[in-house]
A and B are shown apart, each in its own frame.
Chain A
Amino acid sequence: AQKVTQVQTEISVVEKEDVTLDCVYETRDTTYYLFWYKQPPSGELVFLIRRNSFDEQNEISGRYSWNFQKSTSSFNFTITASQVVDSAVYFCALSEEGSGGYQKVTFGTGTKLQVIP
């Protein structure tokens, strides 16, 4: 069974600090995708990144970077020089092929990030 673990439930940092959100996953599939989503206080979920299981290249997008380590089944997310607008709950998610060929997505429990001005 697939599982996504985000051990950090809440993190507080002071503005401009760097912060890393951890995500560890479990799957038996060789083909899968990993995602990060942001949920600000307003409630809507915003897609941040998708990574497939065959691509372990790290990715950087502005102040955001992601580190995918297949050997440790981790897909960590770092925000550099954090800003107050980064305050939100961040979800890591794993997508596999479920029964019938359809997509099955499992979300982690989320990490609430509070950036203090």
Chain B
Amino acid sequence: GAVVSQHPSWVICKSGTSVKIECRSLDFQATTMFWYRQFPKQSLMLMATSNEGSKATYEQGVEKDKFLINHASLTLSTLTVTSAHPEDSSFYICSASYRIYQPQHFGDGTRLSIL
């Protein structure tokens, strides 16, 4: 089955640090990748949709300059949380889909803790 690798799985860092999270589709070409944020006991909140070779589409309320997304190839998308602060602490999940309406395949998520 389709495999999506997300790295790192856990990050603890000081306030003000920038953190990069990678999302790779290992066995298929992902035309679209999605980035979600999930707070404890809550649903997934879509942050942005990333299409290979074009700028990401951000959801309302998500700061583009804060959460930088790059989708440089059909197998890799990155999310960089710039100058992270404690309120950015959350569970970030990426997913990838090879075509519209196809199921999203999720990475295992990244737990980000900002001290």
Give A contacts to B, CB under 8 Å: 33, 35, 37, 42-47, 50, 52, 91, 95, 97-110, 112
Contact = CB atoms under 8 A, between A and B. Distances in A.
A98 B46 CA distance: 13
A108 B45 CA distance: 10
A109 B43 contact: yes
A45 B101 contact: no
Q: How large is the interface on B (under 10, 10 to 19, 20 to 34, 35 or more residues)?
A: 20 to 34
A89 to B, nearest CB: 8
Contacts of A47: 103-106
A105 B93 contact: no
A42, A45, A91, A106: residue with the most chain B Cβ atoms closer than 10 Å: A45
B27 to A, nearest CB: 15
Main secondary structure of the interface of B (DSSP, over half): strand
Contacts of B102: 50
Contacts of B103: 35, 47, 50
B108 interface: yes
A64 to B, nearest CB: 15
A37 B100 CA distance: 17
Contact of B49 (A35, A50, A103): A103
Nearest to A103: B100
B91 interface: yes
A102 B51 contact: yes
A102 B95 contact: no
Contact of A91 (B43, B91, B97, B109): B43
Given A43-B91, A52-B101, A103-B101, A98 B108 contact: no
Interface string B86-98: 0000010101010
Nearest to A35: B103
B44 A107 contact: yes
A44 B100 contact: no
Given A102-B32, A102-B49, A110-B43, A33 B101 contact: yes
A91 B42 CA distance: 11
Interface string B38-65: 0001111010010100000100000000
